[in-house]
Structure 1
Amino acid sequence: MAAPTSGWAITQANVGLRRLGLNCTSLPAYRGPSTVLAGTTISGRLISTGLDLSSGSITIERSCIRPTKAAPGMPIVGTTNYNSMRPAAGRVIIRDSEIDGTLLDARTAAQATGFIGVADLARNYIHRLGSGIGIMNAGSELDSVIEQNYVTGLVAEGDPAKDGTHSDAFTVRDFDVSKRADRTLVVRNNRFDCDSGSDTGALFIQTYSGRIGNVLVEGNLLEGGGYQLGLNGANYPYSNVRALNNRFSGTGWGPAYLQGGKGWTRWENNHLHGDGDVRAQGAAVNHP
């Protein structure tokens, strides 16, 4: 099956394993270490633990990551070395795979994020976790392309104002371009659905842990509660952030908000999701 060409064309059937005629239970078990060695490719395996990809130069493809347990607040898959807090030492690729929280108890799933770090993620299906994809502790060297992924079925537990959880389908918390002015983060043609009942939103950019620059958000379908697209200048500045040709469900608190900083460098052709032709253009969404 051909991969979708826009976020609003994505379904569960045309990303991840199902696009390839595979499923988690059909795959042979992965027997390697959970701290994966540099230079490794894992292909066509059922992985029942989380994965530490901080060694870098690693590819995960055509695989199902369905852990039976997870540490509270930790990612299922990550690229940070939590002993040194260093980011991935080389490029990481995760493609045509599934990250599945269905074997975790409700509290553990709600506290977990599918992926945190810096990598290229393409055509993955991520579901039944507290949050989906987080670019954080991304270092200052590696580019990142997040393309044609489907994050949905997020879950929450407890009171988010106290000790409860909150959900982001996709978030960026740092992406430093001070050492590489041509460094880019491209978030294109994804479907991000954040509807756990305790939602920050589908796509949330916040300078929580560092500067953020050179981010392109294009061709995505953003759905669910909270705000579908947020830009927040929290602790550091941001620059050159662009939102082009996205579609919004308009549910929750609305399609988009801005808090702090100069706002979007470019905001063009963003619309509520509408029925009809392949452009799916409803009412225009004004620059927040």
Structure 2
Amino acid sequence: MALDFHGRVAIVTGAGGGLGREHALALARRGAKVLVNDLGASVKGEGGSLSAAQQVVDEIKAFGGEAMANGASVTDFEAVQAMVAQVVEAWGRVDILVNNAGILRDKSFAKMDMADFRLVVDVHLMGAVYCAKAVWEHMVAQQYGRIVMTTSSTGLYGNFGQTNYGAAKLAQVGFMQTLALEGAKHHIHVNALAPTAATRMTEGLMPEEVLAQLQPAAVVPAMLALAHESAPTRAILCAGAGSFEAAHISLTQGIHLGVGPDVDSELSTRLAEVLDRAGETVPAGGHAQGELEIKKALAAHQSRAS
């Protein structure tokens, strides 16, 4: 049985085509009221038109769903605030935010224009921040919310020619980690989705037979699982071609070397032990690193004392 979203109100950014469109359609088919946001720009973020968002709204209304269009740029905080106000005025609440809007300005770092680097970071990272900030007070007031960031395997693992995109996408994960901790007491769950899908942003990057396997619709179940009331929090879910995985930022057990003038030399020779993944953990928060280091330091001190 499909997950039920009746009574829920969702905002999906970058929903005029590709993955965002599939997200919006799926939420609406399952009963959610959906604001379809799209600037209507090119893959590089150039131009703008409300027509793409309106076409998706028309599709939703055609099968009996409820939706409205919005053409705000996620890089414009005032426009984003107005977008959220539009939703709350029309439907009284906002339960789900899917931060999907994004652009590409790919080049090797040596050839990368710094304006292109900043623009990609502004759209992906600051766009997600602005949208989250605009819905946050409403989600706190209603003591419920689900926020889905769209990260990428490029951010998690790297990809040649995408330093700007990778930096912005991993930054979304860092944003998610702390936002999830702050939202927990308000029943606001925050997660990240790393999709592999054939969209305008992947045209020409892969062979056609590969792209045929990477339909955007195949990623949608992962988004729905992260946007539903049953969603976990602080998860990084990967999805593509009908497969689903989880990514983790882990911490190895490492070694204790103490403090001294020759620690750098010893660390260099024993770095393989530090990198050894046996017994690694996924910390519950940033404090875990310090706790592990202090624990090892105290154990070493006690060992020397005895």
Which protein is richer in helix relative to its size?
A: 2
Which protein is richer in strand relative to its size?
A: 1
Greater relative contact order, per chain length (Cα 8 Å cut-off, separation 6+): 2
Q: Which one has the largest radius of gyration? A: 2
Answer whether TM exceeds 0.5 for this pair. no
TM-score bucket of the superposed structures, by smaller chain: 0.3 to 0.5
